[in-house]
Amino acid sequence: MLNKFFRAIHNKYARLFKFIFFLRYLFTIFFVSIALFLIIPTFFNYEKKDQLIKDFFLKDYNFELDRYETIKYKAFPVPRIELNKVQAKLIRSNTNLNVDNLKIYPKLLNIYNHNNFKARKIIFNKNSADLEISNLITFMKQLLNQKKKISFNNFNLKILNDNKLVLRLENIFFANFGYNKNSIEGKVFGKKFKADLGDNLEFIKFRMLNSGVSAELDLDKISRTGIFKSKILNTNLKFNFEYDNKKLKISNSFFRSKNIKFNNESFITFVPFLDVNTNFILEELNFRIFEKLSSIKFDEFKKVIKKINSKNTIIFKPKNFSRSLIDDLNLQVDLTYGRLNYKKKFLLAKNLFECEGDLNILEEYPLLYFDCSMIINDKKKLLKKFSIKTKGYQDILILKAKGNLNILNNKIKLDQVLINKKNSSKEDLKYFKKSFENILFDKNFLGIFDFLKIKNYILEVI
């Protein structure tokens, strides 16, 4: 019964079965042909055709291939040409690139057509480069404006300034195609980060993963304006800016942290020389932060400082019920070719303090000259600021002092000290000098802002 059933089906669909069995030969021929099509280029000598590949890189990617150790074609799993130990150059940014492995994925029709070689994408594996910071924007634009598909895996980049290391980026991944298009991932300062880049750098979003560090930059290339935002742990910064090739204007800027809060506006001119004008309005300032600052190393900044001209105004008016040591501060600081001139006024427990002077930062041993006066209307109220109890009370106490500070050798020279218009004796000047150097100036210049040291000095001299 069963045999009759199969015989009936075979008689009825015999032609169909013959056609299906015939297709297996066609499929076999097809797959064999494809395999041969992909495998035969393995036997080509690509070293004789390397000039065609170099021309392709230069024309399509604006890369210049200088040299390589080996070049081979591999058919599986995806047809590709691999070059090992490659040295290449990004022409626009003048950046040399060392590549362990470079993969070129040619279009199928171009596997044999080397005279008009085209590729679907190229992938750089295990790369390293040294990039001058002045070429950074050009370097980024070359990658972002690249119309052909390109990818970098495990890219280590050193950013330099005059051949000195500024920043090291490690294990970078970047691709201008696919799901992670124009996204950069890697490590900086040993921490993983991710940056999303808009077309032509019109938008940049940076995040340091699991660290509380982030930054955003929005640009309007037509109006040459933008907004910058950043957050580092509990510190926030935001400002608007306008820029061109000669100047930068910063407005609506605010900075917020645990120890300091301020708003500011700045106008920076780059041509013909660097000139900076800034106005800071401090809302909150914890003067104890000066205790944590290390000594200033002027030698590291001399080359930069002598090129900067700046005029800075700093105003500090703490909020009511603030615990700030200073009630009101107005500080003007001008810097011209390494010479700093300053003038400040501040109120401390409603007592007026004024000081002015200058400092030549470019000198081997910079001297900070000062000419200061203090009008103390209520000595008791002033000492209370430092938690110092006193039974004495004096309506008005006028102090004046002239001299200079050797900020590197931690020395002070007092030329004159007047107390209620009376000159201090030489013995008194020596005593004030010794006490100042032993208590306030025992470690470094910033020690004179130490709250406890100021208190101890007052206890010593009163």
- Cα gap 179→447, rounded to integer Å: 54
Cα separation, 55 vs 63, in Å, equals 9
What residues contact 252, with CB distance under 8 A and at least 6 apart?
238, 239, 240
334 and 402 share one domain: yes
User: Do 349 and 454 share a domain, yes or no?
Assistant: yes
- The top-scoring range by mean pLDDT among 59-63, 108-112, 393-397, 440-444 is 59-63
Name 193's bridge partners: 186, 208
- Is residue 175 pLDDT above 70, yes or no? yes
- Residue 26 belongs to a domain: no
Domain boundary among 234, 257, 280: 257
Domain match, 278 and 408 both:
yes
- pLDDT for 100 equals 94
DSSP state of 316: E
Q: Does residue 236 share a domain with residue 343?
A: no
Residue that is written with structure tokens 């993983």 in the block: 192
**Residue 426: strand, helix, or coil:** helix
Looking at the structure, do residues 90 and 190 belong to the same domain, yes or no?
no
> Given the DSSP bridges, would you call strands 70-74 and 80-90 parallel, antiparallel or unpaired?
antiparallel
Please state whether beta strands 80-90 and 149-161 pair in parallel, antiparallel, or not at all (unpaired): unpaired
Instruction: Using the predicted structure, report yes or no on whether residue 170 has a pLDDT greater than 80.
Output: yes
What are 147-165's pLDDT values in tens digits? Answer: 889 999 999 999 887 788 8
68 part of a folded domain:
yes
**pLDDT tens-digit series, residues 384-434:** 777 777 665 556 778 899 999 988 888 889 999 888 888 888 888 898 888
The DSSP element (H or E) to which 187 belongs, if any, is strand 183-188
pLDDT confidence tier of residue 316, bands split at 50, 70 and 90 = confident
Looking at the structure, tell me whether residues 158 and 45 fall in a common domain: yes
Residues 155 and 225 in one domain: no
Three-class DSSP category at 305: helix
Hey, what are 325's tokens? 């040591």
Written as six digits, the tokens of 42 are 């393995």
Instruction: Enumerate helices (H) and strands (E) in the chain, giving the number of each.
Output: 8, 24
Residue 104: inside a domain, yes or no?
A: yes
Torsion angle (degrees, nearest 10) of CA 186, 187, 188, 190? 180
Assess if residue 195 is contained within a domain: yes
Mean of the per-residue pLDDT values of the chain: 81
At 8-57, the pLDDT tens digits run 555 555 555 555 655 666 666 666 666 666 676 776 777 777 888 888 88
Residue 22 lies in a domain: no
Could you tell me the CA-to-CA distances from 415 to 217, 287, 361 in Å, in that order?
A: 52, 28, 21
Q: Residue 82, CB half-sphere, CA atoms under 13 Å: how many?
A: 12
pTM (whole model) above 0.85: no
- Are 277 and 346 within one domain? yes
Q: The domain containing residue 233 runs over which residues?
A: 183-257
Give the total number of structural domains in the chain: 3
Give me the percent of the chain exceeding a pLDDT of 70.
Answer: 82
The token pair that represents 374 in the structure block: 């203090």
Residues 354, 406, single domain; the answer is yes
Q: Stretch 255-282: mean pLDDT, rounded? A: 84
Asked whether the beta carbons of 236 and 230 are under 8 A apart, the reply is: yes
